[in-house]
A and B are shown apart, each in its own frame.
Chain A
Amino acid sequence: MAAHIRGPEPVSMVQALNEALRSSLEDDPKVLLMGEDIGALGGVFRVTAGLAKDFGEARVVDTPLGEAGIIGAAVGLAMRGYRPVCEIQFDGFVFPAVDQLVTQVAKLRNRSRGLLSMPITVRIPFGGGIGAIEHHSESPEAYFAHTPGLKVVAPSTPADAFAMLRQAIASDDPVIFLEPKRRYWDKGVVDWTALAAPLHAAAVLVTGSDVTLVGYGPTVRTCLDASVVAAQEGRSVEVIDLRSISPLDTSTVVESVRRTGRLVIATEAHASFGPASELAARVQEQAFYSLEAPVLRVTGYDTPYPPSRIEEDWLPNMDRILDAIDRSLAY
């Protein structure tokens, strides 16, 4: 099948994801997609647009409405040698599937002492900032990262979205693939043929010497913007995109903190027991003597996600990140 839009012009993250799915379907006859409304509609965000038409309903399956069913069926398909790529329509609707994910998908390799593997990818649009109603703006990554056996990643750009989704699908481990829905329509250039960086490696996007600023998924863009504003105030901010939440590339962050002495972590997930807390703990374990200030977390607050009219104040926005940078440097 001919490549669709794999050219030099910038594409949106939605298009990049679509191409990743398309090329995975082309490359591996065992890959199949399952989800609600992913066929004729192409998914509510159009990530699967055109795929049912081009690959047929047997490989792009509009499932009955039930998330436990989608993930439970993926387990059986995986046992039969297939490589299911499941779409959960929104972050807040993954919970009916959590039993299958936590008790089965995550554990079958271990329970079978390596005889079974679960090459399942679970795509979930996640995070807030799009003015949505309840259950459509959540950041559930900590639940999954807390579950041994699951890997959890989140791209922040179209280029990473393309490369990382292909890698996740090719992985023999189950991968929770979190798509920052707020960045779906942002465009970027994708090098369609580049050798991808390792799926679970963090990336230093901007080098700097005063403070290390870490994000993933939707907060990466905000961190980059904050670094530009901080630079105008004479502050040199190093920006790291974690890319993978589990496993967590601690060494890239530790190496940076050894140089800057300060760390600010920005995630939309709630603060308590979240990914930012885990990273903070590891950094103080491994770089205690390099730290000049406490590690600061800028996160969603420990409340249910609020009504959309106040979400921008609740989210780790640029002002909150700049404030944390100030506090870190003033310490």
Chain B
Amino acid sequence: MIQLLDADGVRRDHPDYPLSISDGELRELYRDLVLVRRIDTEATALQRQGELGLWASLAGQEGAQIGAGRALRSQDYVFPTYREHGVAWCRDIDPVHILELFRGVSLAGGWDPSAHNMNLYTLVIGSQTLHSVGFAMGVVRDGMVGSGDTAADTAVLACFGDGATSQGDTNEAFVWAAASNLPVVFFCQNNQWAISEPVEKQSRVPLYQRAAGFGFPGVRVDGNDVLACLAVTRRALDDARSGQGPTLIEAYTYRMEAHTTSDDPTRYRNADEVARWAARDPIDRLRKHLDSRGLLDARFLDSVGEQSEQLAVRLRAATRAMPEPDPLSAFDHVYAEQTAELAQQRGQMREFLDSLEEVG
């Protein structure tokens, strides 16, 4: 397992994954981690207050997501699951969009995928891995692999969980990416659980070893080590962009919270396990490292704290202020052009809703 920062925050080198990173960049990673955790705790609180219908927490996976997210170049493209709040943060997607989805005022959050080079969240397990493959086929056809132009060469990051590795779509995506040597990085966050099923129910071998059978490299990285995730993903993306084909990254991490706010993990896992992983917290680890290097001065910490507080206040206010959707909006964008029969149904709904208003 690739690690560049151990659980005590001590920096290690790895011959295959050299990482030169400035003090400023280290502090920015820390800022990212703290802020995405704040999004998560705020969203969880909003769900408890009834402001959101549901929330899928990323707690524990911040290191994996910020590491991978910050390894991306702007032209790279991401295909997320429903838990990729940290990656979305790195793609400059306003978390308010994500809250819209979980509040139930929009179906899929509604950011513009091409403006952020990140597709909408995909809830159907495994589906997005095949979309990554097709997107990468397009990238190859457009001549944007191995051209040597660092601003043009493009990689595709396919995010999924350990459970998703059992899905047919995911395995087909592996086959396709290998067969055509596509510029896809398969980024699997093994958070040990697929709802109530431990990863052992999905696989008898460590997940990264699956790649070998498909014919491309697989690597396991400490998913709670943001530096290792950054270095490993950066290298895999470089390989993809330069025409060396796909890589499977298994970011070994842990889902600290319930699967979603609807789930009750006490039914299937014990507190000891959770406590063991709490001791490997990705934020604590980087904090210790920064601290040991004297990079955590009060001014920096205050600025992060303040930014985090402002973010939380903004998310709360924005969630409460979200306009209720118009029921008629269900009829928008079903087809490129509204069909006559759908227009008629829309008219019926409008008439009916108007008649209710008249009755009072």
| A binding-site residues for B, Cβ under 8 Å | 36-37, 39-42, 44, 62-66, 68-69, 92-93, 95-96, 131-135, 271-272, 301-304, 306-310, 313-314, 319-320, 323
Cross-chain contact of B195 among A37, A95, A96, A323 (Cβ < 8 A): A37
**Residues of chain A with a CB closer than 8 A to B267's CB:** 40-42
CB nearest neighbor in B for A38: B196
The count of residues in chain B whose C-beta lies closer than 8 Å to any C-beta of chain A is 46
A41 to B267, CA, bound (A): 6
Known: A310-B327, A310-B330. A323 touches B124 (CB 8 A): no
* B residues 329-348 touching A (CB-CB < 8 Å): 329-331, 334, 341-342, 345
CB nearest neighbor in B for A272: B341
A303 contacts B53, C-beta separation under 8 Å? no
A261 to B164, CA, bound (A): 53
Taking the nearest CB of chain B, how far is it from the CB of A273, in angstroms?
12
Known: A36-B195, A39-B196, A42-B267. A304 touches B334 (CB 8 A): yes
The 6 closest A-B pairs by CB, nearest first: A308-B104, A41-B196, A64-B166, A313-B327, A306-B330, A65-B163
Q: Which of B108, B326, B330, B352 lies at the interface centre, i.e. has the most chain A CB atoms within 10 A of its CB?
A: B330
B334 contacts A303, C-beta separation under 8 Å? yes
**Residues of chain A with a CB closer than 8 A to B325's CB:** 306-307, 309-310
Taking the nearest CB of chain A, how far is it from the CB of B260, in angstroms?
9
Known: A65-B194, A66-B167, A309-B103. A92 touches B53 (CB 8 A): no
**Residues of chain A with a CB closer than 8 A to B53's CB:** 131-133, 308
A310 to B325, CA, bound (A): 7
Cross-chain contact of A41 among B126, B168, B268 (Cβ < 8 A): B268
A40 to B349, CA, bound (A): 44
| B binding-site residues for A, Cβ under 8 Å | 53-54, 101-108, 123-126, 163-164, 166-169, 194-197, 201-202, 262-263, 267-268, 324-327, 329-331, 334, 341-342, 345, 349, 352-353, 355-356
Cross-chain contact of A96 among B101, B106, B167, B331 (Cβ < 8 A): B167
B54 contacts A306, C-beta separation under 8 Å? no
Cross-chain contact of A314 among B54, B101, B201, B330 (Cβ < 8 A): B330
19 contacts between A and B (CB under 8 A): A39-B197, A65-B194, A93-B124, A96-B124, A96-B167, A131-B104, A133-B53, A133-B101, A133-B123, A302-B334, A302-B341, A302-B345, A303-B330, A304-B334, A307-B106, A308-B104, A310-B324, A319-B356, A323-B355
A302 to B334, CA, bound (A): 9
CB nearest neighbor in B for A95: B124
Taking the nearest CB of chain B, how far is it from the CB of A196, in angstroms?
32
B202 contacts A65, C-beta separation under 8 Å? yes
B166 contacts A41, C-beta separation under 8 Å? no
Taking the nearest CB of chain B, how far is it from the CB of A109, in angstroms?
25
**Residues of chain A with a CB closer than 8 A to B202's CB:** 64-65
**19 extra interchain contacts, Cβ-Cβ under 8 A, other than A65-B167, A302-B345, A303-B330?**
A40-B267, A63-B201, A64-B201, A65-B202, A69-B166, A92-B123, A132-B53, A132-B54, A133-B123, A271-B345, A272-B341, A301-B331, A301-B345, A302-B334, A308-B53, A309-B325, A319-B352, A320-B352, A323-B355
**Residues of chain A with a CB closer than 8 A to B326's CB:** 310
A310 contacts B262, C-beta separation under 8 Å? no
CB nearest neighbor in A for B264: A41
Cross-chain contact of B353 among A68, A69, A313 (Cβ < 8 A): A313
CB nearest neighbor in B for A306: B330
A302 to B107, CA, bound (A): 16
A69 to B163, CA, bound (A): 13
**Residues of chain B with a CB closer than 8 A to A302's CB:** 334, 341-342, 345
B125 contacts A65, C-beta separation under 8 Å? yes
A323 to B351, CA, bound (A): 11
B334 contacts A307, C-beta separation under 8 Å? no
B107 contacts A323, C-beta separation under 8 Å? no
Taking the nearest CB of chain A, how far is it from the CB of B165, in angstroms?
8
CB nearest neighbor in A for B344: A302
Known: A308-B53, A309-B103. A65 touches B330 (CB 8 A): no
A306 contacts B195, C-beta separation under 8 Å? no
**Residues of chain B with a CB closer than 8 A to A40's CB:** 196, 267-268
Cross-chain contact of A44 among B107, B163, B262 (Cβ < 8 A): B262
A304 to B342, CA, bound (A): 12
